[in-house]
Homo-oligomer: A and B are copies of this chain.
Amino acid sequence: MIAEEYKQMLGKKSVIREIAEYGAERAKEIGYEHVFDYSLGNPSVPVLQAFTDKLIELASSSDPGAVHGYSPSLGIDSVREKVAQSLKRRFGMDYQKEHIFMVSGAAGGLAHALRAVTVKGDEVITFAPYFPEYDPYVNKTGAVLKVVPANTADFQINFTEFEKMLTPNVTAVIINSPNNPSGIVYSTDTLKQLAQLLQDKEKEYGHEIYLISDEPYREIVFKNVDAPYIATFYQNTITCYSFSKSLSIPGERIGYIAVNPACKDAALIVNICGQISRGIGHNCPPSIIQLAIAEVIDMTADLSVYETNMNILYNELTNLGFSCVKPGGTFYMFPKALEDDAVAFCKRALKYNLLLVPADSFGCPGYFRIAYCIPTEKVERSLNAFRKLAEEYKK
């Protein structure tokens, strides 16, 4: 039988796609360089040269065993070891190989982590604005995703609302800092308060509440921003990392799950991830990519352009009267639209060849996302379009 549950997912045409399609049409008419495409979170900076060099070296081998062979389902041993050592070196925590599971990007990591620590009927909490793909990751485990409303003052956690939503059915909490789409980084205060609350509730409920920390933007943090390593605050943390943004290789599907060494059942969770892979036919991330990232484990591409772009846009937009919390990292910015209906606002922006994404699907209506992972010269050329757009609302 055709699986209706998946067929139904097809029905909904997303606004984001509609905007992307409009953009593609416009690009045909006026050239892509004249379309200010702020709609997609595709890294734009050149791939780290050391990664490219290593990849070429590995690709040059024709020995299927050495480079292109099956990886163990938990990941290549030497790669897991290097990831653990790097985390240990950088964050002073006692990660070992057995705490690391190699995954196909943060998406694969989140879906695995959720399957490992939730069962049918569990509740999982996350915080608006949030990445809408959390819905299928959670729902397909049989658990239910509950979303804490945004704290639009600073996009830190809305603890009052969060506490109201905590029940004994909550077994996992997903956070994403630096955050897509707000660009905000959770402060030390926020993380301390979060950890204390979860610890208290664990005691009260008599079971673990796993903190699943989605960290693809960990390496994109701007100057003087307080951005501590999240797992240091809370034992039962499962960190999901991706090299997509730090190395500019989102299509190569590589990341890891790092379970806090102090987490309850840490090594068991890693082994369970291997069994989850069996059920979905996911044998391992690509071997050659695992081997390549292991050699550049402490390095990143030159990510400085994102902060340059952020500053240009933040200054211009706030001058134009946009209300916006200054991003602490990522390549996203999250202003309030100039009318209540952000979809209508983003559609109006198309007139000026500006592709912006309304935040309704991120659980935060009235706001829009700017993905400024585009060349700086294009950011500069786009300012006039923003000016014209703002002008419309002054009439």
Residue numbers of A with Cβ under 8 A of B are 1-7, 9-10, 42-47, 49, 52, 55-56, 59-65, 67-71, 103-105, 107-112, 115-119, 122, 133, 136-137, 139-141, 171, 207, 248-253, 265, 268-269, 271-272, 275-276, 278-289
Q: How far is the CA of A249 from the CA of B285 in the complex (A)?
A: 13
Q: Shortest Cβ distance from A300 into chain B, in angstroms?
A: 13
Say yes or no: A279 contacts B140, CB within 8 Å.
yes
Q: Which of B59, B112, B116, B251 contacts A2 (CB 8 A)?
A: B116
Set B104, B136, B281: member contacting A278, Cβ < 8 A: B136
Q: Known contacts A109-B281, A251-B68, A282-B282; decide if A62 and B47 are in contact (CB<8 Å).
A: yes
Quote the shortest CB–CB distance from A224 to chain B (angstroms). 28
Assembled-state Cα–Cα distance A119/B5 (Å)? 9
- A136 to B73 Cα, complex, angstroms: 15
Partner of A42, one of B3, B64, B111: B64
- Residues in chain B near residue A108, CB distance under 8 A: 280-283
In the assembly, what is the distance between CA of A202 and CA of B231, in Å?
54
Contacts A59-B55, A104-B282, A275-B10 hold; do A250 and B70 have CB atoms under 8 A apart?
A: yes
Q: How far is the CA of A116 from the CA of B284 in the complex (A)?
A: 22
Given contacts A68-B249, A111-B280, A252-B288, could you give 9 more A-B pairs where the C-beta distance is less than 8 Å?
A2-B265, A6-B276, A52-B62, A68-B250, A105-B281, A108-B283, A251-B286, A252-B287, A253-B283
B65 and A44 contacting across the interface, CB-CB below 8 Å: yes
| Number of copies of this protein chain within its complex | 2
Question: Which residues of B lie under 8 Å from residue A253 when comparing CB positions?
Answer: 283-286
Nearest-CB residue, chain B, relative to A169:
B1
Which chain B residues lie closer than 8 Å to A119 at the CB level? 1, 3-5
Contacting A56 at CB < 8 Å: which of B6, B56, B68, B109?
B56
Of chain B, the residue at the smallest CB distance from A373 is B64
Point out the residue from B64, B103, B265 that lies within 8 Å of A47, measured CB to CB.
B64
Min CB distance A347 to B, Å, is 24
Given A10-B272, A250-B64, A272-B7, A280 and B278 touching (CB < 8 A)?
no
CA distance A368 to B281 in the complex (A): 25
For A65, list chain B residues within 8 Å (CB).
42, 44
The answer to whether B60 and A251 touch across the interface, beta carbons within 8 angstroms, is no
A258 and B271 CA atoms in complex are apart in Å by 32
Q: Which residues of B contact A61 (CB under 8 A)?
A: 47, 52
**A204 to B109 Cα, complex, angstroms:** 44
Distance in angstroms from A223 CB to nearest chain B CB is: 24
Q: Closest 8 CB pairs between A and B?
A: A251-B287, A111-B281, A140-B279, A107-B281, A64-B248, A68-B249, A55-B59, A6-B275
Partner of A115, one of B3, B115, B133, B249: B3
Docked Cα-Cα span, A289 to B67, in Å, equals 13
Q: List 7 A-B contacts (CB under 8 A).
A: A7-B272, A42-B69, A43-B64, A52-B61, A64-B248, A108-B282, A139-B279
Determine if B52 and A281 form an interchain contact, defined as CB atoms under 8 angstroms apart. no
Evaluate whether A44 and B64 lie within 8 angstroms (CB atoms) in the complex, with A3-B119, A112-B281, A278-B136 already known. yes
Q: How far is the CB of A72 from chain B (nearest CB, A)?
A: 10
Whether A286 pairs with B283 at a CB distance below 8 angstroms is no
Contacting A281 at CB < 8 Å: which of B104, B284, B289? Answer: B104
Q: Please determine whether B42 and A62 come into contact, CB atoms closer than 8 angstroms.
A: no
